[in-house]
A and B are shown apart, each in its own frame.
Chain A
Amino acid sequence: MPDLNIVDWLILLICFFLAAGIGFTLRHGIKTAGDFFQAGRAMPAWVSGLAFLAAGLGAQEVIAMGAAGARYGLRSAQFYIMGAIPAMLFLGVFMMPLYYGSKARTVPEFLRLRFDEKTRALNAIFFAASAVLGLAVVMYATARLLQALHVFDAIFLFVGLPGRWSFTLTIAISATVVLLYVFLSGLMGSIYNQVLQFFIFAAGFLPIVLLGVYKIGGWSGLMKAVPAAYLHATPGVGHADVWSMGTTGMGLVLGIVLGSGYWCTDFRVLQAAMAAENQNSARRAPLIAAFIRLFLPFLLILPGLVAIGLPTPQTTTMTRDENGAIYHEITVVPREAEEGRGLVPALMDPAGSKPIQVNGQTQLNYDMATPQLLLNVLPTGLLGLGLAALLASLMAGMAANATAFNAIFTCDLYQPYIHKGASDRHYLWAGRWATLGGILLSVGLAYAAFSLHNILETLVLIFALLNAPLLATVLLAMFWKRATGHGAFAGLASGIAVAVLHHGLTLPLDAQRGIHGGWIAVLHRYPNGMAQSFWTAIFAFCVCLAITGAVSLMTEARPDAELVGLVHSLTPGPKRIKAAWWKQPERLAAVILVAAVVLSFIFA
């Protein structure tokens, strides 16, 4: 059990108090639905950029990238950088002028402007469902994490309740804090909190990395402690065994497709950029995020590597002789820690009695890599800050899902189909109640999420099912003026259907039939869930592209005049401004691209 004392609790309280306090302070500025759903389109570029980045820093990044670092080594950095940076640059330079210039409040609304109502409705329904699911997964991750760390056990022991209640308490606290500031101040409260949470995350994780690397003996100690293949980002592209992600060099291409789908079309992150004060700021937001993201593998992936490299804890007995009396001091280590590797514990069966084994190999609970390092290197005091950092990143992800859900539910489903023509104030309150409804629904789903073992694979699967076909639709919408509403609808529906079908017919080697796939029949087995998700995405993307193209060519396109501001080739380019290079999106993007290439060479 971690030794939390009053200083740790004080730091946690400061962070919670500030998160809720920002919501209370900003509520006076929320007077219209535009303020609530779009933060009044008044955010400076750096605020939008940091919020854009923090929105993606939920469970899927902080916990799962640490898990990926422990499982795959530095090669995870390649997926992390190459799967996102090019897409973020493309978004900032080419796509954001159309998203922002169209004045659409959401991505489905952009699809309505570009195509038609049915395409908007299809996208809105699936996205709203995925936002609630995403919120549930993030909430579940927070609760399981704190339950596994036994952070609240002392409180329950004090009041005489069993420790398992900590799952419920964690869900209640995280949901209440996020609900409070999103309900009161909408996207503005969420963005301000995401900025704050990003800095708390950095302040809490930097000491974990520095002390972890110091404890393992510096960089040279790390190199000795982990297998050599763990320390290279690109070990023999094209050879599936070397990658151990179960993908060949195609994995890189597929990773880019997945990453692009998320960063270019997912409203959870886009909403922060779309709330910028002007088009230049909106374009620079993803670029600023991309620049900072270049350095995040040091904070996210390195802890996983250090955790797997440190010695595995063992039960020890120390005997000492004191004035003729012999004392035995036994330090008992839980079985999952002893059976694990480094600080990464073994994955135990549901009863918690023995480790799960597949083909004679003990399965590891990689999601615990970063949290275990946190507990093992931080002293009391900094431990509170480390936990606050973990909670801050998870709450930033929760808030992004909550605001995306309330905007899409209200603007794309409630306003056009359920209650047309109401007052602005009515929609403002509809958004607030949608936040409450979405969070309550997610709490229920979080309890149903117990069977998920690897958070990253589950989230990648959700994105593969929904984002990959949506990426094809949005790319055709923006860059092919011949694309039609009928084509987009048919393509999007087919892409999602193929993704679901592929998931139902394939299964990772180490998984049981069910949520991990094969629920129709098992026609093919992939080496792991990551490979399965990659191929789900590429099939969905290609089918959506092909069907949209074919149906569009058979149906009548809209006149060019109606597509100005929505299609790249028909829209005048943004005005060039005379300013420093970092205020010019094209130049800033070029510098970041060069930096990404240089970093890739350093890690290769």
Chain B
Amino acid sequence: MTEDTPPATKGRTVTIAVAVLVLLVGAVLVALTAFRPGDPGTGDPEAGFARDMSTHHAQAVRMSFIVRDGTDDAEVRLLAYDIINTQSAQIGMMTAWLDEWGLPKTDPAGPMRWMSGHGGHQGATAMPGMATRDQLAELERASGRAAEVQYLRLMVAHHRGGVAMAEAVLARTGHDRVRSLARTMVTGQNAEIAQMNRMLRQRGGTAV
């Protein structure tokens, strides 16, 4: 009977093979979990973008409400209506990202650090395209055609800043949802910039 493989040895070989297989599968699973791309951290561009673009959008919503109060012009009021709804909804989307990532909605170190290089050594900078408080107050005082022209000029600058921020995050992230929303901002706001410049010329203003 020495010519047969003893059953005990055969059984042990199978046991070892199965055990090694299980260990390998386990190791692969652990490695996959450990090296899976995690959620963004609080200092990452995705988080900074979500916070700062929310602030940026909030001002666009505010300006659009102001012009809707200041003019009866249907075309400007419809554009403002569009911006209010689009950007409010996008604020909600970006806020939900921060909730999902378990990150604070603010960075006390200041806004825009994610756009100024690695870790943002330059510290906080102003958000591009934001209107000053004086400009908002002036818009609030204006009415009719003057309000429309002021609004369109402010909003073109605001959208340009927004496009720059969206392009900046596109250059810094591979996060799918962040990229897809940022892309729609770039195309959507660029289209509106062209439309607003057309509306500006129709109202006797110069394109900006």
A and B pair up: no
